[in-house]
Amino acid sequence: MSAEDLQHRLPWNAPRIGILQISGAIGAQVRGPEMVRAIKALGDDSRIRAVVVEVDSPGGSAPVSDAIHRSLRKLSRRKPTVAFVMTSGLSGGYLIACAASKIVALPTSLVGSIGVIFMRPVVQELMEKVGVRMVMTHEGHLKGMFQPWREPTEEEQKKVEALTERYYAWFVDAVATARGLSAEVVRGYATGEVFTAVEAKEMGLVDELGDLEMALDMASEMGRTPRRLHYVRPRRPLVERLLARSGGSLARSFIGELEERLFPRIEFR
């Protein structure tokens, strides 16, 4: 018996299937940096021979969805990955699932909602009611186009529409490439509509209908590894976790949430 075989026989070195759960709104509950680190760790762990990604998400932040999608796609090039959708894999959640080698979904799960939303709150009327006005000085005539203190001009709105279309085109191309479909076909699906997994399989958006056991069986076969499971949970950096316990964390969280709601964001949701 070689030294390598002996090493693999040790329980802590034995080959296994990595399990990663992606659950919740992307960018809020599913945080990009932590998830990217967790996916990289799965790729770097020599014990992990295949990965099952449990996706349950309505979507969320477009950049965070993109970052996780790219990271999972890199992992899929190195190791077999299977995305399993139990409840919903929608918009950014579906984009992430597309990065896996295969997609398995429960027949009753919801899939799709391929589209883009640009959100920009306008608080002009509220400020007028409470007697508050904002004075801005800026260089560049479009520099203030995303500010919530006023309605967008016609030129600004056209710029936003063009920006949203570019994100939409990227989303369509990403799905088309991942699923082996033409961009024209995916664009026909990309109405923001939600499909059952049964419909999604007929459309080519899902590979198999089944449960988690099927996803694990597929990962085991693809990775040629026994069904020894290793769960990976993303963790925030130590400093951030320590700060979260401090007395001012609630106030900082509230201020951060307020800033996020007041300023524009583009989402795959």
Instruction: List the catalytic residues.
Output: 91, 143
What pTM, to 2 d.p., does this model score?
A: 0.83
- Beta-carbon contacts of residue 261 (< 8 Å; ≥ 6 apart): 121
Q: How many domains does the chain divide into?
A: 1
For 187-216, the pLDDT digits (tens) are 999 999 999 999 999 999 999 999 999 999
Instruction: Tell me what the mean pLDDT of segment 138-163 comes to.
Output: 78
Burial code (b: 16+ CB inside 10 Å, e: under 16) for 2-37 equals eeeeeeeeeeeeebbbbbbbbeebbbeebbbeebbe
Q: Are strands 81-90 and 48-57 parallel, antiparallel or unpaired?
A: parallel
Percentage of the residues of the chain whose pLDDT score is greater than 70: 78
Name residues whose C-beta falls within 8 Å of residue 57's C-beta, 6 or more positions apart in sequence: 22, 23, 24, 25, 26, 30, 88, 89, 90, 92, 93, 96
Domain that holds residue 105: 3-268
Closest to 106 in 3D by CA, of 203, 193, 208, 194? 208
> String of b and e for 187-205 (b: at least 16 CB within 10 Å)?
bebbeeebbbbbbbbebeb
Among 72-86, 131-145, 227-241, top mean pLDDT goes to 72-86
Report the CATH number at residue 124: 3.90.226.10
